[in-house]
């Protein structure tokens, strides 16, 4: 494994963790902590190139208000999404992930393990089409605390535990059969999967629906409008997420480009 890369795998804990580019119209999220080492296998030029390109690609995170339906590419991560669309690897799969407390992270990890070591497809790309309740995992700790997002999980999650990296991530990646290692069920976290090249797509529709729900429930300490709430939610997506105008509407675009669908 190549341990030299420093990726965008930290978590934004506030809107101050962004670097404004292009006269304030675009933000490029900087890692809030030292990045995890890459767990992408050596000899994977196609996947490594995508990963490196995504790291360098700006994400706009300076929204003040967003509409219900996005119509212009500058309202989502168009450049980053285009890189995913254009991925040249032959083997690629998009997962329809909607259940927060389901096995979605474990399924993606198992799929990667099978494709890489059983079938030898080192450039296998996994894309998480994240929406519905599962989308809560794509908000940073700041939002979880401010908007009491744990209450939306019926007490199943007190915080965004999906971002917590276990000690297993620090084991020797050459020992891929280690049942307590980086590729084991002990390491089902979003940052570790990102370090393996998994791309997490964020859903504008899920964001707007959550903003509407928060507005109706009066969990709105700044008394923001729904479009303003949606903007703040967008600005606090986790580091590395790729915002789409809507995950379900984006999946046909991925299918047309050779991505296999998994539910």
pLDDT tier, 139 (very low <50, low <70, confident <90, very high otherwise): very high
- pLDDT surpasses 50 at 170: yes
- pLDDT at position 174, please? 93
Q: What is the pLDDT of residue 36?
A: 79
Q: What is the pLDDT of residue 18?
A: 32
Identify which of 122, 136, 152 has the alpha carbon closest to the alpha carbon of residue 200. 136
pLDDT at 119: 98
Each residue's pLDDT tens digit, 8-32 = 333 333 333 333 333 333 333 334 3
What is the pLDDT, as a whole number, of residue 43?
87
pLDDT at 37: 83
CB atoms within 10 A of CB 118: 8
Q: What is the pTM of this model?
A: 0.87
Which of 35-44, 60-69, 130-139, 216-225 has the least mean pLDDT? Answer: 35-44
């Amino acid at each position: 494994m190549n341990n030299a890369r420093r990726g965008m795998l930290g978590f934004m804990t506030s809107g101050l963790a962004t670097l404004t580019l292009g006269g304030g119209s675009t933000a490029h999220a900087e890692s809030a902590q030292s990045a995890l080492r890459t767990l992408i296998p050596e000899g994977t030029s196609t996947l490594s190139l995508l990963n490196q390109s995504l790291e360098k690609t700006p994400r706009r995170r300076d929204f003040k208000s967003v509409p219900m339906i996005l119509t212009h590419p500058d309202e989502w991560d168009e450049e980053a999404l285009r890189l995913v669309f254009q991925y040249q690897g032959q083997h690629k799969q998009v997962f329809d992930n909607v259940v927060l407390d389901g096995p979605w992270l474990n399924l993606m990890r198992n799929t990667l393990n099978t494709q890489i070591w059983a079938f030898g497809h080192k450039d296998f790309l996994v894309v998480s089409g994240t929406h519905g309740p599962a989308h809560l995992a794509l908000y940073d700790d700041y939002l979880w605390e401010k908007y009491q997002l744990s209450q939306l999980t019926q007490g199943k999650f007190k915080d965004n535990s999906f971002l917590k990296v276990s000690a297993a991530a620090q084991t020797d990646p050459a020992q891929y059969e280690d049942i307590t290692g980086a590729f084991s069920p002990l390491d089902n976290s979003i940052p570790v999967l990102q370090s393996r090249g998994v791309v997490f797509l964020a859903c504008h529709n899920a964001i707007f629906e959550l903003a509407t729900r928060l507005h109706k429930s009066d969990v709105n300490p700044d008394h923001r409008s729904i479009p303003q709430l949606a903007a703040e939610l967008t600005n606090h997506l986790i580091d590395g997420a790729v915002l789409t105008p809507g995950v379900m509407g984006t999946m046909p675009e991925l299918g047309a480009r050779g991505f296999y669908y998994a539910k």
